[in-house]
Amino acid sequence: MTTYIAVVCGVFGLLIGSFLNVVIWRVPRGESVVRPRSHCPKCGEPITARDDIPIVSWLLLRGRCRHCGNAISVRYPLVELACGLLFAGFAIRFGAHFVLVAYLYLAAVGLALAMIDFDHKRLPDVLTLPSYPIALTLLGLAAVVDHRGHTPFLRAVLAGVALYAFYEVIGFIQPRGMGGGDIKLSGVLGLYLGWLGWGELIVGAFAAFLIGGVVSIGLVLLAGAGRKTKVPFGPFMLLGTLVGIYAGHDVAHAYTSFTLS
């Protein structure tokens, strides 16, 4: 059953990933994600259904527009693949429960935000702020439908507030080191980590800074980055959240067992 759900979610993720490519390109530019239809940025020809099959169309076209031969970045199929893998991975993690819907939304919006932050060094409010009511609604429904009671939902709300407050403090102390978009995103991630547990929240939050620190050191040593080099923190926050979701419980349990033994 789990394998079937993972396959279905994976295929659905590929389709969502195709749409996310539109979101990633248009949202930072203030364009509609609905109109006009997807088209080649060079010749303007609309992309037909046969050329819009995730990953497959890019491979068949050898990464070029059918009409003008303009090169199509390999990032498009990679985003589709990443979304498919995230959806399948969450399906395996959460199984046939309604809460899976909430985490599939996190996978989609998180991937879009990570790519936009990587490209433009900002996290658009149009994606981040609506995620609060959406996450609260989906997690609230999961508490009812999955018969989880009020505890996970209340913990999620408290965790969201706590992580948001933590980022606000960091932003106040070091304004240049923490952007407003990062602060706004933190509360959303806190909701999802808190639903799983306090250990997941702490591990996920710490992992973001650990991953960010390692990457920053690597950029200094290998790419000659300096103090003024801007490194988007949003992708690290989202990667840290994945660590918290998949390994947070085990890491927190191992840490407390070691320190209390």
Amino acid at 120: H
Closest CA to 244 of 163, 168, 171: 163
Burial (CB count <10 Å: 0-12, 13-18, 19+), residue 36: exposed
- pTM score: 0.94
Tokens for 99, please give them: 């809460």
What does each C-alpha distance from 62 to 37, 45, 93, 133 come to in angstroms? 22, 18, 34, 41
CA 141 – CA 139 distance, rounded (Å): 5
Q: What's the pLDDT score for residue 230? A: 81
Q: What's the pLDDT score for residue 261? A: 62
Tokens for 153, please give them: 């939902």
Max intra-chain CA distance, the chain: 67
Q: What's the pLDDT score for residue 78? A: 97
How many helices (H) and strands (E) in the chain? Answer: 10, 0
CA 49 – CA 71 distance, rounded (Å): 19
Q: Tokens 């939902």 correspond to what residue? A: 153
- Running DSSP on this structure, what letter comes out for residue 96? S
Q: What's the pLDDT score for residue 21? A: 96
Q: Tokens 């031969």 correspond to what residue? A: 69
* 120, 28 contact by CB (below 8 A): yes
Q: What's the pLDDT score for residue 227? A: 67
Q: Tokens 């980055």 correspond to what residue? A: 225
Domain boundaries, the chain: 1-96, 122-261
CA 222 – CA 208 distance, rounded (Å): 21
pLDDT truncated to tens, each residue of the chain (261 aa)?
789 999 999 999 999 999 999 999 999 999 999 888 887 777 777 888 887 899 999 998 888 888 888 888 999 999 999 999 999 999 999 999 999 999 999 999 999 999 999 999 999 999 999 999 999 999 999 999 998 888 999 999 999 999 999 999 999 898 777 889 999 999 999 999 999 999 999 999 999 999 999 998 888 888 766 666 788 999 999 999 999 999 999 999 888 887 766
Burial (CB count <10 Å: 0-12, 13-18, 19+), residue 222: exposed
CA 146 – CA 153 distance, rounded (Å): 12
* 96, 221 contact by CB (below 8 A): no
What does each C-alpha distance from 13 to 25, 65, 200 come to in angstroms? 18, 23, 24
CB neighbour list of residue 155: distance below 8 Å, 6 or more residues apart = 194, 195, 197, 198
Angle at which helices 131-145 and 151-173 cross, to 10°: 160
